Structure 1
């Protein structure tokens, strides 16, 4: 049986593979871009805007910081207590066009030894977990091979 894919946070990213991107909002008054999304008021202290346009964010950026999550986090993190805990990598990425810093889990197989500050990375579709009904989707971060 093929399971339906369900975003873990609806509206925060597109669900199509090749066109995958995080979705932010741009204040129509001042042009400031936000992620996570803004819906009610602009976070720019110099702006009183209240209208926003949805915008896809850059898929590429550079590593701003990174660490590993070496312990099982508490709820609401979803984790099967019967499965051995495996550390994973958390990556802070400075998006190429917007300059925003966004966090994401490293793609499967990406560890802290695979990263350094300033590396070029990309935001890609990922799976957070599966249950009996759905594949719960999210985003991951993976290094980009840069050719000279």
Structure 2
């Protein structure tokens, strides 16, 4: 007797993809405290002055995390009208005129004990060579200060 072998049905093969990810957090977790928007106002600048126009304001940061000492670093962008790193400019309110200025952060980086407020001074300067021949009027810019981590 001849047995007919029937073909076994083919089993469908299927696969699933499982994305795997993880984020390793910094041992330091720093944030701005209080006002996150401050004004650096140079006020009225006398074009006859031989002294730089200066201004300062402050921010506060606090760091937390698992590290006893938290490391931080602050950076500035180029503002709305800057022409590159360190080449900041304020724009005249109604004319296509610009007023160069500089800004520094002190301290810009370092270590701080966790859960302790640290005052950051934001200082700016406009040199006489930049404002003595500037067009009369109001100038403004907006900077972004980034706090890492």
What TM bracket, shorter-length normalisation? under 0.3
Higher relative CO (Cα under 8 Å, sequence separation at least 6) belongs to 2
TM (norm. structure 1) is 0.22
